[in-house]
Amino acid sequence: MKRTTILMKTGLLAAWMFAACSQNLDLVPTNDITADMAFSTPEGYKSALAKVYGSFATTSGRGPGESDLGGIDAGTSDFLRLYWNAQELTTDEAICAWLGDPGIPDLNYMSWNSSHIMLRGLYTRSIYQITVANEFLRESTDEKLNQRGISGPEAQEIAHYRLEARFLRAFQYWVLMDLFGNPPFITETDGIGKVPPRQITRAELFGYVESELLDLETQLTDPHQNEYGRADKAAAWALLARMYLNAETYLGTGNGKYTEAITYATKVIDAGYALMENYRHLFLADNDQNNPEVILSINYDGIQTQNNGGTTFLINSSVHSSMGPASFGIPNGGWGGNRSRSTLPLAFDDHSGATDTRAMFMGDQPDIEDPSLFTQGLAVAKFRNVTSSGENGRSVNGVFCSTDFPLFRLAEQYLIYAEAVLRGGNGGSTAQAIAYINRLRERAYGNTSGNVTSISLDGILNERSRELYWEAFRRTDLIRYGRFTSGDYLWPFKGGVANGAGVESYRTLFPIPAADLIANPNLTQNTGY
């Protein structure tokens, strides 16, 4: 049975908070439900917090086929669908057969521009989620609670909600920093509708997100003590570790923070998490149950949070009708879109003769000659809408899925620790790094046959691909290693060339959408666009 979470409790606020969204961060409600009505009770505040969380997992509080965003198809406006496309289709791990869909070829071939519909959608979705968090924070101050007669333990609980809203806002500002670099910036202390938001530099934004997370790590709920699917101290530590590992990307060469990455990865590692015994079970419809590895996830329910994005998109787009969709828990689904480029299954070929169970592929033609044919390229069977006991996950129509998507899990922290040690961070050891890598490999191989006695940076990048593939890490990883745009590292159809070609170096950042540049004179376009 899918565990009930805060994401399923959006209630009244789903109808009130921002019926539609442009690229602005200073929107105001446009319907008849006022803030004083929506936030009149403690229950209203929890529903409002659910809306902040729910905007990660749904396209609208009004149900599937609706969107909080304007200018983009509702089914495509989901955060994970947009984020996954940007992080995976642009890399050596995935390619999509839907060449007739606006924006897909440009991601496949790394040829996007400032009018790209999906990148505009992702940018807008992140800003929308920041907007919702800002409004929650404006309405939950001590002054507002006093005005509404809320005090004592109930006020203290709402103060904890504020911390989680700040974390979710920090996460989305990290997304914007990682992908777009220099986005517009506004917090709950800025006035609404007075002037367009100012632009913040990538370095300034790094400092802001870092300061928020350092403050939150002392105040959020202790690890394992919060309701499932809600942020706690470990989530803040995990995001800090990820940010510090990529600090040279955000701040420039020579500004590494690898010691800090080790420190915060270690905080997570020491917080009582453990690897899920069976790797495959991390990505099934009951992965919300008895899962000691996941720190924070985006939660989906195929009945209560219906959405053509999220893991519904990830699973259906990875399955073709010829693959037996019922075995994936989607008997009426299977859209035949995304599959691997040949470079991904090759990452599992270590010539040892042992079997790495993380390699979950189907098909017999790894090479792609025609990107529009789903049957060219191996299908990825990693995510399924079935439970660990083989039952179908909850679904209202045999298409919508109930598999949660991990945003942070322990395995990533092992890999951060190992890479940061190799990059010169203090406070860790090579011996411990090797031990962490071998924990991942022992789970993958079922024994010690795949264990290593030494590690290298190239080896860590390959291990990240084997462990984290299709979890929306690859673009960021390739940029950190200097391989995303370079002609020195190629994959099929990189740059639109069958054998691969280097692309312009400025593509390590996506463009600020042209529509937002027109709407906000305070913004300057990223270099190259």
The Cα diameter of the chain in Å comes to 69
pLDDT in tens, 483-521: 999 999 999 999 999 999 999 999 999 999 999 999 999
| Averaged pLDDT, 70-80 | 84
Res 196: pLDDT: 77
In contact, 399 and 333? CB cutoff 8 Å: yes
pLDDT in tens, 453-494: 999 999 999 999 999 999 999 999 999 999 999 999 999 999
Res 311: pLDDT: 98
Which tops the pLDDT comparison, 34 or 263? 263
CATH number of 1-200+505-529: 1.25.40.390
pLDDT in tens, 157-200: 999 999 999 999 999 999 999 999 999 999 999 877 666 799 99
Q: Which of 295, 277, 297 is nearest to 223 (CA)?
A: 295
| Averaged pLDDT, 232-239 | 98
pTM attached to this predicted model: 0.94
Please give the single-letter amino acid code of residue 523.
L
Res 34: pLDDT: 58
pLDDT in tens, 15-25: 344 333 444 44
Domain range annotation of the chain? 1-200+505-529, 300-403
Res 5: pLDDT: 63
Residue 306 has pLDDT above 80, yes or no: yes
Q: Per-residue confidence at 10, pLDDT binned at 50, 70, 90? A: very low
Helices 152-179 and 202-216: crossing angle, nearest 10°?
150
Distance CA(87)–CA(149), nearest Å, equals 46
Residue 102 has pLDDT above 60, yes or no: yes
Distance CA(318)–CA(315), nearest Å, equals 5
pLDDT in tens, 314-337: 999 999 999 999 999 999 999 999
Residue 295 has pLDDT above 90, yes or no: yes
Residue 503, token pair as written in the block? 């692309």
Q: Per-residue confidence at 400, pLDDT binned at 50, 70, 90? A: very high
Which CA distances in Å does 358 have to 410, 435, 441?
Answer: 16, 19, 9
